[in-house]
Amino acid sequence: MGERTILITGASAGIGAALARECAGRGHDLILTARREGPLLALAEELTAKHGVAANVVPADLAEPGAPAALVEAVAARGLSVDGLINNAGFSRTTGFLDTDPADHAAMIRVMLTAPVELSRLLLPGMIEGGWGRVLNVASLAGQMPATGGDTLYGPIKSFLIKASQGLWLETQGTGVHVTALCPGYTYTEFHDVNGSREQVSSAYPAWMWMEADRVARIGWDAVEANQPRVTPGFANNVLAALGGMLPDALALRMVGGHARRLDRL
């Protein structure tokens, strides 16, 4: 069994599953949560067999009000402690602000903004008391780029997550707790299949702009171990992040031209 236990939300696929594999490979026990229990059980079996770590499955739908507190209670009821937290769960809608069901907007806010805040507030005291903790918030390059239309709330939510991570990084200095915002760009996962933009983004962006989920996970966990407040994997993504951060929104949008609308789907 590992010395530390990491709770990962949205662990059933994509970057979340890649982070689970990365943490297990480094000897950490895991608590895996997502809506879909089947993929979680399969991943837990894989990681235990390959790395000999304990991989506990606690299904939860973070879109439900009160889900973060219920998840923490369920973890405690199993006698498990949480040494690290990866806030990875997320999804998007690309139909535009007025054409998206308000219930979907509310769910996005709960899953990607409210849940990371609540889980961090619930779990950080124990980490600080124990003198060791890791919080990795999976944000996005979209949170560093100018605002765009289409998936209107996604970029602002990720921008919030970046700023909140930086604030927590400042507050936890000297406690043994490390906080990092991971800001990947285009990554090969099922994310774009779920939101229906796979064909569009695949034709719009060349292969050299895309990254593999396992590399993103490795860079992200290296960054949180090193206590970096923010990391943006990949040369192309770093260039885009610099572009988004240094130029006025209107100029940056003109420079990225016809692809500006798609940048919020990273």
How does residue 200 score in pLDDT terms, banded at 50, 70 and 90?
low
pTM: 0.86
Q: What is the rounded average pLDDT of the residues 105-134? A: 97
Phi-psi region of 209 (alpha: psi -120 to 50; beta: other; left: phi over 0): alpha
Is the pLDDT reported for residue 166 higher than 50?
Answer: yes
Tell me the pLDDT of the chain averaged across its residues: 86
User: Which sign does the torsion angle of CA 116, 121, 123, 128 carry?
Assistant: positive
**Tens-place pLDDT, residues 218-263:** 999 999 999 999 999 987 788 878 777 665 554 444 433 333 333 3
- Provide φ and ψ at 246, rounded to 5°: -100, -20
Is the pLDDT reported for residue 106 higher than 70?
Answer: yes
Is 205 catalytic? The answer is no
Selecting among 154, 186, 188, 205, the annotated active-site residue is 154
